[in-house]
Structures are given as structure tokens and as C-alpha cells.
Chain A
Amino acid sequence: MRHNLCPSETITPMDHSANIHFDDWLWELPQGRLDALELPSLASAAIQDGVKFPQISVTTAIAEDDVDPLAVLADRGIGIEDRRPSKWGGLLRARLKQRRYTVVVHGVGAAGSGVAHLLGSVPFTERPWERVDRSWLPRAHPQLAGVILNRADFESIGDHLGELGEVHVTRMTARVLRDGSSYSRGWPEIQPTHREALSEADGMIVNTLRLSAGLSQIHLRRSAGATFYKGNWDAFVEIVLASLADAAAERRRILSGRDRDPVEPVSETLVMGLQPDVAAAPSTRDRILESINDLRGARTAVLHANPYLHVVATDHLDGSSFDILITDDHQLTIIPGVRASTGSLARITDAVGLALGMDELRLESVPEEIPASEVLAG
């Protein structure tokens, strides 16, 4: 059990009066209090000041070495009016038409760890947060890049949420890989566990899960995002945000320092596991090409078309390049070029992964020796 639940820590926003909006309260915190603010204490700090603690949207991103996420977003994000740096990151004050809102940019772990959470009270379905996900982050490429969760991440987060009580899924959305159609199912009465719900999604990629665990209600998104609706904020930070950060840190570890040394043979490749019918589908070539070319500044060249696909991808944002291949083993292999930045690899693997329903992304050693039987026909 990771959490000693105290009733006072369970947040029920409607119980509090709201003379000042959470975003304004946050923006106007004295610098000392802002610097001392830690994510787990965000809710209690607001409540102590008589501020209604709202639902919180989160998107997790990875940053390249020596990149200050707050500065990059402030410089490139549209509609950002002001910034307030703090010891852990800082705040961005943005405006969309008449609506002002505050976004927390919170670095995870030690400075320069390369993972940051973006948090705000704006619902993720509303335009201000859509702008964070779909405009600010893409404009901050490749210095910042989003992360996508795979099924194992969803399962792991659900398992940990079990510490708060029984986990039930109230709604799940997914995409059917075979034909790209969408799938959405709600369970108003008898609700499955997260693993039961996920087992219904074989052959699909899960986009979102809305879960309840104990008194907490949480929304998880494939694009490394989550929403805290109500319940135990501390547990949300420790379980959900920590899991998002772990997934982002692992992705960053896999994608960092991958530039190829031209005088050495390729010793490691990035491998994306795919479902066999996806790897073999005639539409896969187009999905890969479209997903990359739809990224700002990214382009492809096809050296060999399906069924053995060999594509050179170039990221004109920073001069990175990669070879992407699908061979005979239902795997997509990415071989970074002589120049291959972490952020560029992240945005391209995420785009392709989203398009193809990536099961996992891993580093794989290139074998020094192959069995002779694999060379002989038969």
C-alpha cells in the first residue's frame, strides 16, 4: 500500500467556495510560495486559501538536454502573454479570446531530467488545452516532444490505482487497427476492471480510459495525458503522474544519444512491435508516410516499397534523419542516422506509433551472428 488515505486529503471540489479562480490564485502566488509549491501539495494549498480545486488536465512531455521547457513553450506557444519561472519550472499565462488561463510547467525529478508535466484547470476537450497539445507542443518540436502510452502503461497505471480501491472503467475509446474505425463503449451499470476492459481491445489501440478507483475519478489518454476529476489528488500525483513520468523517462532513455557513429557498424536499432496484420497490411506504407509527412518539417523518401518497406525520414526542424524499415518479422525498425536528436526521434516514433498502434518500443542489439539455417532455403 503506497498511500495512507486520510479523509481530509480526499478532494471534493464542490465542498469549497470559490471566490478566486484557481488559475488566478496560482498566477498571483508570491514567489516564495510558488517556489516552495510541490505537485502533491497543490490541492491542499489551494483549499487552504479557500480556492476551489478544479479538475486538472495533464500532458507529459520529454525535453532534450539543456532545454528549459518553460522557456521554449513561452517563446513558441501561441497566445502566451506572460511567464513566471520558479525553482521547479514555472507558470505560463495564456489567453484565448476573452479567456485567460494558467498552465503549470513542472519539471520532473532533478533539473535537466528531461521530463516535464504540463498541468492546467482547462478541460482537455476545450480549445485552450487542445492548443497546448496540438499547437504549443508541435511548435516546440523537437526540443520538446509528447509521449504516447502503450497498453502495458495503461495496465500498469490501472494496477497501481488498485491501491485506492476497486478499479472500474466507465468508458473506453479505441481505434480498430484493421480498418481505422473508431470504437467507443461506456459501462453505465456493471463496470469492468481495467484489465477486463483492455482485453476487449485486442486488435485496437486504446485512446482513452475513464476510470474510477475508490473515490477518485480519472481519465487516461494515450498521448501521455490524464485528467484528475475528483478524489485523492496526492494519489493521482504519486500514481498517475509518476507513471506518466516513468513512461516518458524510459522513452527518453531509449531515444537519447542514438546518433550513429559512421565508423562503427550499427549495433543497436529501435524496434517497434506491431500486430502481424498491421505489418503486412497494404495500407501500412501509406499510414507511415502520412504520419511522418503530416509532422511539421518532416519528409520521407521511399527506397523500397511494401512488403519490405525501407523509408528514409528527414526532420528538417533540426537536421535529424532516420531509416525506417518493415521487414519479414512484423516489426518496424528505426535506425538513427549520423545526426538523430532525442526530440526528433520522439516525435517521429510517436507519430508512426499512433498511426500503427505500436505495442512497444524497445532497443534491440543487432546480432553479430545469425544461424546458418536462416540463410538456407527451406
Chain B
Amino acid sequence: MPAGDEASKAELLHAEYERYDRCVDIVSAAEVWFTKAEGMRDTVAHFERYPTIDAGEIIATPDFTVLFSDGTAYVGELSNLSLQAASLDSLCEQIGRYDRLDRVPGPDGTLIEATTVDVLLFVPHSEANSAVARMAAAIEDEDHPYSPSRFPSVFAWSFEATKTRYVFTLAGGEQNQRPRGHGRDPSLESWMSSETSFDTLKGLPRHFQAIKVASRFMNDPTPPLYMATLLWGTVLPSMSGGEGDVVTSATELAERLHRDYGRGKVAEVHQALELLRVAGLATHAGEDEWVIAHQPINRHEDDLAATLIDRYKSRPSGPVTFAAKERARKVRRERASNKQLQTGLEE
């Protein structure tokens, strides 16, 4: 791979990593609204962080769902809409499917019929008004297939560094409406129409930190660097005891992730292990057998993600596992010993 390509791949890896972590934060903030906030939590029958809805012809994996005690539901989706038309088409196709959903996960994991489903769309602040306008235009366009029963409620999100908080504001545009509350009190509708809210909600890290740490993921595919970092920093330590070869499989690691954080996808783990392999920290020993040389690797900017990127770019060669390094040492010792013997014989 040319050097420029490697650099841009590394940049992409880190951009995905940062973006995914923001999304984990946002879903965690939403989980706080619906499961922790005074009053609101009493109206909620179930908040699902990792929903998979297989309703016959509609299969959907939104970023969260909320089933209310009154039988209505919200389906939440986070989007990074780009300026390209294909990006809008893809988003419209996705939330168009959500608009047709008639059931969401309930407390025991089974799908529960919902009387109405509102779609909540979370878009970065700089793109939110544009998203509303473009979706409205798509609905107006008779040739465009997007034709929802109700315009989704679009929230513009941003992170206010000075106040250390996420802010969510109902995006502009006359088509964009608050999510319906169906007479519940409180509801997002009543919150956002209150005198103090001005259609704006907050997501405070101190409120969602415990939820974020206990869940780690959101429902979009986890980028390889994020997955590799979490595996290395939180899952592998208990398997290696801190340092040593870990013989495992993507399947086993995915099961552990599922046990510890509620979500584990074999394919995502596999991609992360592949990243570790390129970074010279793991070997692929068989179909689904991996040996990971877990260790305190020399640091780069005191950040494991930066360290992994650095190693990914440099593609270190040589023995990877502790066992292979030990074998190499033995070979070197034997060679040195043979050389000494040979020298002695010649003398």
C-alpha cells in the first residue's frame, strides 16, 4: 500500500473511532432521558439499546427504541448525512422502513405491538437544518420513494465544550415537529414545549457515564479501532491476567462482549483482530483461532488508539506471540552455542 494511502487509512480509522464514541455518548444520553429522568422513566415500559426488529418484510436495526407504557413507541436513529444524494437516499430508505414499523422490543426481548411509532433522527448540528430541507424536498418529489406517514423529528446535536455537555435542539424547518407525547406527562413533547427548554435537551456526561461504561457500544457496526481498543483494554486483560498469549476465537470474544456489555458481533471482532494482526500483536492460527500477544505495548502519546494506529501504519515484522519469541530466542541461543562449539573445535 502506498504511504499516502496508509496515512489516509490511519486517519480514517481514527475518525471512525471518534465518531463512534460520540454516537455511544448520544445513545447513552437518550437512555438517561428515558430510564433515569424524573417522571419520564415512569412512562417507559422498555428502552432497547441494541434493537433488532424482524417484522416479516421489514428488518430494522435502529440505534434505539423506546416502548412507552401507553403502547406507543419511538425509534431513534443517528445519522451523519453527507452532501451526496446517495447519502440522503440511503437515510430515507432506512427511516422509511422505521416509519412502517408496528412493533418494538419489549422488556423480555420479544417484539411488542405499538399503536404508533415516531421516528427520532439525530444529526450533527451543522447538517441538521439541511437534512430537514432535503428530506422535505424528497417527500415533495413524486419520483422519490420516501413517503413517510409522518415527518421524522430531527434533532440537531452538538457538544458544548465550555459546558462539557451534549445539546440536542429540534432542528429548524416547518415540517419538523416535536415527537408526539400522546398526552403523557412528562413526554419529550411536554419537555420541549416547556418554558425552560426552548426545544432543547441536554446530555450530561456525569449522568450517562455509568450507562456508557456498562454498555460500551451502540447499535451501529463498531469500527475496528474502537473494537480493538476495547478488547485490548477491557476484555483481554482478564483473559491474559495482564500479559501473555491469549488463544481465543472471534466467537469467544464476541460472547464475552455480549456477556459484559450486551452486544458482541463476531464479524466486528474479526475485523478488530485483523487490525491487531497487521499491528503485529496477533496471529491468525486457524479458521477462527487467534493468538493475541497481550502486553503493555510501548506507548505513543499515552493513548492506546494512537499506539495501534502507529503500529498499523508501521506493520511490524518478526515473531508476534510470546511463544514464538521464546522459540526464536532458543534458536538464537542454540546457534550461538553451536558457533562457540565450532570455534572450539577449529582451535
How many pairs of A and B residues are in contact by the CB < 8 Å rule? 174
User: Does chain A have a CB within 8 A of B272?
Assistant: no
- Residues of the B chain whose Cβ atoms lie less than 8 Å from the Cβ of A323: 209, 213
Docked pose: A374 CA to B214 CA in angstroms? 22
B210:A269 contact, CB within 8 angstroms: yes
A314:B229 contact, CB within 8 angstroms: no
Supply 13 A–B pairs (Cβ within 8 Å), ascending by A.
A260-B214, A262-B261, A301-B233, A307-B164, A308-B159, A316-B243, A319-B240, A328-B163, A337-B234, A338-B234, A369-B37, A372-B38, A375-B207
Docked pose: A327 CA to B211 CA in angstroms? 14
- Residues of the A chain whose Cβ atoms lie less than 8 Å from the Cβ of B21: 303-304, 310
- Residues of the B chain whose Cβ atoms lie less than 8 Å from the Cβ of A150: none
Docked pose: A290 CA to B37 CA in angstroms? 37
Docked pose: A307 CA to B206 CA in angstroms? 12
Interface range for B: 35 or more
Known: A266-B210, A300-B303, A302-B305. 15 other contacts (CB 8 A): A265-B211, A303-B21, A307-B161, A315-B237, A316-B295, A321-B233, A323-B209, A327-B204, A328-B164, A328-B205, A338-B234, A369-B37, A375-B201, A376-B202, A377-B169
User: Does chain B have a CB within 8 A of A289?
Assistant: yes
- Residues of the B chain whose Cβ atoms lie less than 8 Å from the Cβ of A262: 259-261
- Residues of the A chain whose Cβ atoms lie less than 8 Å from the Cβ of B239: 319
B229:A312 contact, CB within 8 angstroms: yes
A266:B213 contact, CB within 8 angstroms: yes
User: Does chain A have a CB within 8 A of B196?
Assistant: yes
User: Does chain A have a CB within 8 A of B180?
Assistant: no
User: Does chain A have a CB within 8 A of B238?
Assistant: yes
Q: Of the candidates B25, B204, B296, which one forms a contact with A298 in the assembled complex, judged by CB atoms under 8 Å apart?
A: B296
Interface mask (B225-263 → A, CB under 8 Å = 1, otherwise 0): 000011011100111111100000000000000011100
Docked pose: A315 CA to B241 CA in angstroms? 9
- Residues of the B chain whose Cβ atoms lie less than 8 Å from the Cβ of A375: 32-33, 37, 40, 191, 201-202, 207
- Residues of the B chain whose Cβ atoms lie less than 8 Å from the Cβ of A333: 206, 209
- Residues of the A chain whose Cβ atoms lie less than 8 Å from the Cβ of B167: 377
A319:B261 contact, CB within 8 angstroms: no
Docked pose: A368 CA to B41 CA in angstroms? 10
User: Does chain A have a CB within 8 A of B302?
Assistant: yes
Q: Assuming the A-B contacts A299-B296, A377-B202, are A338 and B238 also in contact, with contact meaning beta carbons closer than 8 angstroms in the complex?
A: yes
Q: Assuming the A-B contacts A299-B297, A312-B230, A376-B196, are A368 and B36 also in contact, with contact meaning beta carbons closer than 8 angstroms in the complex?
A: yes
| A-B pairs, 7 with minimum CB distance | A301-B304, A377-B200, A289-B302, A328-B164, A327-B206, A378-B196, A319-B237
